[in-house]
Structure formats: C-alpha cells, structure tokens
Structure 1
Amino acid sequence: MLVGNKGYGLDAMRRHGLPVPPAFAITTAACREWQRDPAAVMDSIWPHVRQALKWLESETGRTFGRGAHPLLVSVRSGAAQSMPGMMDTVLDLGIDDQVHAALAAECGDAFAADTRSRFRQMYSKIVLDGSDAVPTEPWAQLRGAIEAVFESWNTDRAKAYRAHHGLDDDAGTAVVVQAMVFGNLGDHSGSGVLFSRNPVTGAPEPFGEWLACSQGEDVVAGTHDCDPIDALADTQPDIHRQLLQSAHTLEALGTDVQDIEFTVQEGKLWILQTRNAKRSAAAAVRFALSLRAEGVIDDREVVRRVEPSHIETLLKPALQPETRLAAKLLAKGLPACPGIASGVVITDPDEVLEAADDQDVILARATTSPDDIHGMLAATAVVTELGGATSHAAVVSREIGRPAVVGCGEGTITSFAGQVVTVDGNNGEVRAGALELTAWKISDSPELIELEAIIDAVHPSAGAATLLDKLTAARAALESETSGDHE
C-alpha cells in the first residue's frame, strides 16, 4: 500500500537475489499529499530524492547528469493494485549534451542518439503534452517526470479503469525511480515480457515475446512485431534458461502466475518488474486448479481466485466449427483473449462509447493505448492491426474479459470498418456477419466439473442451483469469515 505493487515486487526480487536494477520509491502517501498541494510536497520530498539518487549512483558506479559514466533512470508509476498501462512512465531520463557525448564515447554514437531521441519523444508526450521544450538540465527533467506520474493518477483513463474495477480513487500511486538498463545496445541486447504460464489458455507453459535491440516500451506498446519467447532460446540460450528459472522462483514466491518484464543488456539478464498475471476467464480457472493440484494453494483459495465473471464468460454460447468455417474470413491474427462477440466495427474509441448505448460494437484500431480504455470497456471485443500477445491491447483485453484478436496486419481494418463482424478470440479470426452461437453446459467442461466439486466441499449450499450461484455463495461465506477474523 505504501510503495506500490511495482516497488514491492522489486524489493522482493532483490531480497531473493534476482538481477534487479537498483531503484527507490516515492510513496503513495506523497502522491495523496501532492494532489492537495503540489509545490509544497515537491519541495518537501526533493532533498530525499537527491539523497536517494546518490544511493543509486553508489549502487551502479555511475553519476547522474555528469561524468564519463552517466546514470540514466526510468520514472514509473506503481499503484498498490496493478493498473497496467493506465499511468505514465518516462524512460532514459538524465540526458543533456554532456551526457550524450559521454554515452557516445562509452557505447557508440548510434546508441547515444537513439536513446536521446527516445527520451525526448517520451518526455515531450508524457510530461509536456506534446511540447518540444524538454528541459536541458537532468534534475529539472527528473522533477517534471515525478510530477507527471503523480498527475497521471487522475487522468480520465486511470479513473475509468478504477471505476470498472472498483478501486479506491484516493489511494494514489507510488513513483519508482530505477537505474536504466538498455536493451537497445545491439543484437545481444533486447527486451521482452514473459508469463510463467499461458495467460490466454491456462496451459502450464511459458508464454511471452522478445524483441532484439529494443526497449521495453517497444514490446508492450504493440507497435512492433515481436518474436515468441522461444526465439531467445535460439540466440541466447543461457539467458533464456536464467529467465525461466527466475520465472519459476517468482511464481513460487507469489504463489500465482507471474507477468515479468525483462531486459537483456549485452548478454546480461535484468528483471524489471513482476506482478500477478492478468488472465482470461479460461486461464483463471485452469491456473487455480493447476496450482491446487501442485499443492501451492488449497480449496478455499481456489474459490477466492475464481470470480463469478469468469464463470459467466465461460458459460456464454460458443461458435460451432461448421458455422465458423462457413462465414467469410476477413482477418487473421493472434488469439489474445478467448471468447466470441459480434458487432459493428468502429475505429474511434469515443465513437464506440457513443454507439454502444444501443448496439454491440467492436473496437478496431491499428494498436491500442491507455487512452483507449473507455472504448475497450464499452466494446464487446477488440481487434488490432499491430502488436503481439503481450501488447497493451492483449493484456487489457484479458483483464477486462473482452475477446481480442491482435496483429492482423497493417491496413487490414479499413477493409471491414463499419461492417458487422464476429470476433473469434479462440481462433484469432474476424469473420463476416453476426454468427449464430450455441449454448453449452457445465458437463462439457472437465475443469468446471472439478471446480463445482471443490466449491461444494468448501461451502455446501443446498439453495444454490447453478455453479454461478454456488460460487457466489461460497465466496461470500469466505469473505465473511475473513472479516470476522480481522474484527
């Protein structure tokens, strides 16, 4: 609650010997105070920020804003409850002309120019709302970025996200300032995202994406075509092995499936973040049952981890193969979130919000960004031209339960914008028309049969006729017990 989900995860990883770039956190309490009196809070915390930067310098052997071996930092948000992509981040901060020259001497002109360009573009967009008047002084850059992260707590997209998930508007975000490591140093560097198990299907296998000579934003923004995580095993097998070992350790520490961001800098692995993975409804049930079978969680925890919305999603009518194959295929991409939904295709998220009052709407974009969250929540499904299975569109769609197909190919959406289509998030397809769906029963799913038996054992409920009723009653009973224990 104080240092945020991101800061808590970094501390846990560092204490367990994982390769984490050093970082410090400005607390959620400071953010709450900042909302009331920004100038006073910044003046109050600034001496502590400067002291913490000295610690980062000692940890890295680099110097901020000066010297032959300069230190660059990232400035990232970190609420207690993870809100992926909803608040702001600034990377590569701390560059002026002197630092640029030092980076060029140390790592080459191309790297220095690329890194400075990335910083200027991101700082201009995030902190200055498009202005190119980026401060030349690194300490001024840092102060502006910290305030921008605090301010991003109350953006429209963050408010919409919290409203959808019932999160506290007054909680505030921590700010994590972390030493940069660089995936854009060359072919033996890169960035990626790894899920310790498949968040789409729930299969017990690593799942993720990797992009050589890149920074993390290139992967999660969905603007680049990435390679599957197995590609890393082909080019840097030792790094791939270390990464999977780290994922196993983190899953054991968290007793849940993890979403891990990492960077490789010239053949060295760095873990930048870990958090409980956002998952599809099918994966949520399979994860809970698998972890129970492995002895990681008990029956009661299974009931806590499977939500009524997961059951509602899984019991929705399905698309039969013969119906699917008879319809015209309009686009093919990656199945980012399972499920079937039909509706008219609209490409502007604001128009999606307006149109969704009286019809089902599909949001189709080249790629989504955090500013599109209101359109994603209003839509029945999401389609993108670009991006992979760990892109913003994919991760958020899984979390909010919207069928999603991503990476359909540049320019594909224009061919069916305005048409009624069916999005098949199971097979990664967009087909013409509103296709007929067929209802199915719990008896069709071995996982739901097993889940029902567990629920009955945890909380026998004679008055609850359906699986959904049983789960709701069992979760309420467990919550009541927990509340009683706290009292």
Structure 2
Amino acid sequence: MTSSSSPAEHVITLDGTHPSTREVLGGKAYSVNKMRAMGLPVPPAFALPTGVCAVYHDNGRSLPDEIWQQVLEHLRRLEAETGRRFGAGPSPLLVSVRSGAAQSMPGMMDTVLNLGLTPELCEALAAETGDQRWATDTWERFCHSYADIVAGDPNAAPPSDPFAQLRSAIGAVFDSWTNERVKAYRARHNLGAGAGTAVTVQAMVFGNRDERSGTGVMFSRDPATGENTLYGEWLAKAQGEDVVSGEKTPNPLATVGDILPDVYPELERIAEVLEREHRDLVDIEFTVESGRLYVLQCRAGKRAPRAAVRIAVDLVREGLITADDAVSRVSAEQAASLAKTHAVHADRTVLAGGLGAGPGVAVGQAVSDLDQALDLAAAGTPVVLVRPSTAPDDVPAMFESVAVVTELGGSTSHAALVCREIGLPCVVGAGVGTVAKLTGLTVTVDGATGTVYEGDALHTPDEGDVDEYLTELLGYLPDTVPVDHPLAQLRSAHLERA
C-alpha cells in the first residue's frame, strides 16, 4: 500500500510526492499528504493506512513485527527531516499519534499528543530550551493523555521506553475504531462498517510553547449561518485538545491578530487556498509555535442545515460547483431539519445563556446523567442533555437528545461540531453552575441565539419572507426528482408556506 502499490509496504510517508486516496490513507493523513504537496507549512508525518487496522485486529490486537520495523524506518526519516532524535537527547523528537477514517468522524476516535517523553527527556527538553515550565507542562499533558487513552487507567505512568509508548499508542488508536461512540456515530450517519481507521504519526509542534504560541480551529465560512467570513476560535499557550474538548472556553479567531499580527493574514490566505482546492467549506486545525504557523489538518467542515443551503448556493454563484453538486450537499437529515418552523416566545424567562453553536429550537427535560438520558429517551421523553462539557463518550446520549447545553467550551468544541452536523440545537459556554440550575426542569433551547428558556416556549411563527438561498436551492431540483426525495418534500412544503 505505498505509492508503488506494493502490498508488503504498510507505512506511507506523507511528503506529498506520491498521491494516494482517502480510502487508503484515511481523511487526516490524506489531508496532510495533500497539503504538503501544496507546499503549505505542515509538520512531517507518516501513516499506517486503513488496511492495517484489520491486520492489527486479525493479529490478536497486536501490530505485526514486520509492520513495526517499517514504522521504525519511517521514524528515522522523521528524525532526519526534523534534526531531532526519538527517544534520545539532547534534542528529543516528540510525535502525535492520531486516528483518521475515510469518512470524517470528529472526536470519535483517539489521539495521543507529546509522545516520546520520559522524566529524563523532559529534563533534556528543559535544558535545550531553558524553559522548565514548558517542558513540565508538556510532560504532564503526555502523562494524562497516555494514561487516559492508552493505559485506560488514570493512575498509570507511561513506559520508560519511548518505542514501547509508540507501539502501544498505535494499537490504542486502532482499538478506538471499535468503541461504542464510533459505532453510534457510524449508525447515525449510515456509514456502514467501514474499512477501519488509519494512524498518523506526526512530528509535534507546540502551541503551549510560549506567549507567541497557541492553537485553534478555523472555518473558511461561518458553519452556523453559511456567511462568507472566516470563522473560528483559538487559545494562546495551549494544545489542540484544549480547544476541541470543550473543557476550556476559547477566544474568537480574530484575537490572533491582536497577539500575532503577522499570523492572521496567513490564516486568511490558507483558508482561501484550501477552500478553493476543496470547493467547499473547510475546517482547518492549526498551531502556532513561537510565532510560526503550522497547519495540521483540513477537512470538509460540519455545518448547520441552513448554512449547508447558503454555502451550496454561494458556491454555485461563485462558479466553484454545479447546481447538481449543490443539491447533493444537503442531506436528508438537514432537509428534515429545515422543514421545521418552530420559534420561541422571546418574553419567556431566560435560565441560561451562552454561545449558539447548533441552530434550531427544541424543548425537553434537562438531564445531566448519561444513562438517565438514554433511559428517558428510550421511554419517549424528549431529553436536553446538560453537561459541564461533552466528551466523545457522550455521543450515544447526544444522539438520543433533542438539544445539548454545556457550561464550558466554544463553537469549535466537540459538542458544537457533533450537534451542528446533525442539526441538533446546542448552547455552549453557558457558565459554571448551569448544570445544577437546569437539571430536572423542562427547558427550551434556542441554538441560534444561545438562550435557554424556562418551560415550553415554542410557538409557530407567522409566515415571513421566503429564504432566498433555500428558494434558489430548491429551484435547482429537476422536475424528474422523485416525490419522496427529502428536498422534493421540502419544496412542496416550502411552496405551500410561501
């Protein structure tokens, strides 16, 4: 599975010189390979492609020695490209070990960051940089990541051998392909069994390095509204998990310009380049280390239903896609969500407010316990899941809820991405204490305004102006489209209301 299609080669260098496919490399590695071919600033990496996932599981959940030897060969190439050594000082090489299936499944599988550290190598990092604070922070982050994801024991320490760390972490990522949240996600989106996840091993860059460092996620357009404006969030002196986990509330992307005025224009340029390459809204993960920008991933961005319509129409108007392409980019689930016409009584009591991250309105009983949420939903009770923040393990309960509210996190957090994709009303960053305040109450969640109201505040709005983007998109439908096509049904309902 290399550029030369040799079946004996199970590890692929992601240097952009040998094109491959998303099915072989998985989405993450495919994007790294493509961006390196485009000359964008991407840290060097290699991948164990999706087919190795089955090999690993068929081998008793163990990476065969033949493949491990190929991993070591590619690790030496990373050392040569970075000028650092894995498992040795004075300049140790640290890597991330990341998942990536052919279809994008944000946050469903596992990632290990800062791998390759030991107490001795932590001191080597401190000596090399003269920054003990940063070295210690990086070591503590790695210990937490390894214990949680690889060992499955919060009290476990990483092995003293960095090579043993790497082999175990690769296995842990392959193992995450079979977890319950992946099964729930694939079932919800009708993705089938799939070929497995790839594993990307990439040289680390450090958003937690210093005051001129940080990490963030940006979208080439607003994924909630579809407006053609750069959108995203970031955190200074942080790493990627800090943003997407929702455990911290990040800052608007525009604040990058306040701290790093030379970086923000480059973010704008990269977003434009990648959007035109993909001919679609793109979701871009980036890190800045000591003022130097790196791009880590690019994929088609998850978007709210109404944003999906506007983006599709705007891309047709811009000549980037055809009318048929536009119709294909609005899913049946999004069409069903667009058919809903509920609004809220704005004079109802407001219980909480945050950032609207998943547009739409829903009413339900606020529940914080995951098992209780699943039980109530199974019994037919509409559930609003309220949590301090959401983690990938919360996904099955999220999929059974009518809305989600979190105390922490921003619009690019895990909760926001999952809810936005499936058209689930979501409010993030509502503030500490929100869970205790809401649990047990019937509430109305307005994901557009970021407001949580007391009781059932729904009402049917008066007929207003017909949305121009939806009207134009529905006009793209051919007369021969089957009447049971979701967009055809929406067109009928839309014409009746117009």
Offset at residue 73 of structure 1 (A)? 0.1
Offset at residue 238 of structure 1 (A)? 1.1
Structure 2 unmatched ranges of 5 or more: 1-22, 493-498
- Please list every run of at least 4 consecutive aligned residues from structure 1 whose deviation after the TM superposition is greater than 4 angstroms: 439-443, 470-473
Matched with 2:255 is 231
Q: Secondary structure at the match of 1:422?
A: strand
Offset at residue 454 of structure 1 (A)? 1.3
- Which residue of 215, 240, 244 corresponds with 1:220? 244
The aligned length equals 467
Matched with 1:337 is 358
CA contact (8 A) 1:318 1:440 kept: no
Matched with 1:105 is 127
Q: CA 1:463 to 1:261, structure 2 compared with 1: closer, same or farther past 3 Å?
A: closer
CA distance in 2, matches of 1:126, 1:274: 24
Offset at residue 439 of structure 1 (A)? 5.5
TM, length-normalised to structure 2: 0.91
Matched with 1:485 is none
Equivalent residues in 2 for 1:365-380, closer than 5 Å: 365-380=387-402
Amino acid at match of 1:448: L
Amino acid at match of 2:190: G
Matched with 1:182 is 206
CA contact (8 A) 1:308 1:472 kept: no
Offset at residue 210 of structure 1 (A)? 1.1
Matched with 2:269 is 245
Offset at residue 445 of structure 1 (A)? 1.5
Equivalent residues in 2 for 1:33-432, closer than 5 Å: 33-38=55-60, 41-107=63-129, 108-130=131-153, 131-320=155-344, 323-324=345-346, 326-357=347-378, 358-432=380-454
Offset at residue 317 of structure 1 (A)? 2.1
CA distance in 2, matches of 1:76, 1:471: 40
1:115-153 Cα offsets, whole Å, 9 max, x none, are 000000110000111141320110000011000000000
Offset at residue 359 of structure 1 (A)? 1.2
Amino acid at match of 1:423: V
1:426-447 Cα offsets, whole Å, 9 max, x none, are 1110000112321676962212
CA contact (8 A) 1:315 1:441 kept: no
Q: Secondary structure at the match of 1:313?
A: helix
Q: CA 1:287 to 1:39, structure 2 compared with 1: closer, same or farther past 3 Å?
A: closer
1:241-260 Cα offsets, whole Å, 9 max, x none, are 11110111111111111101
Offset at residue 261 of structure 1 (A)? 0.6
Q: Secondary structure at the match of 2:226?
A: coil
1:20-39 Cα offsets, whole Å, 9 max, x none, are 00000001111011111146
1:51-72 Cα offsets, whole Å, 9 max, x none, are 0000100111111010211100
Amino acid at match of 2:312: A
Matched with 2:483 is 464
CA distance in 1, matches of 2:276, 2:231: 17
- Which residue of 470, 474, 481 corresponds with 1:452? 474
Q: Secondary structure at the match of 1:398?
A: helix
Matched with 1:29 is 51
Q: CA 1:75 to 1:431, structure 2 compared with 1: closer, same or farther past 3 Å?
A: same
Q: CA 1:318 to 1:56, structure 2 compared with 1: closer, same or farther past 3 Å?
A: same
Q: Secondary structure at the match of 1:423?
A: strand
How many percent identity over aligned positions?
Answer: 47
CA distance in 1, matches of 2:461, 2:331: 21
- Which residue of 3, 18, 30 corresponds with 2:40? 18
CA distance in 2, matches of 1:114, 1:69: 17
Q: CA 1:414 to 1:74, structure 2 compared with 1: closer, same or farther past 3 Å?
A: same
Amino acid at match of 1:241: P
Matched with 1:479 is none
1:342-363 Cα offsets, whole Å, 9 max, x none, are 0000001221111012211100
Offset at residue 76 of structure 1 (A)? 0.3
Q: Secondary structure at the match of 2:405?
A: strand
Q: Secondary structure at the match of 1:66?
A: coil
CA contact (8 A) 1:316 1:439 kept: no
TM, length-normalised to structure 1: 0.93
1:189-227 Cα offsets, whole Å, 9 max, x none, are 010110110001111001100111111111111111211
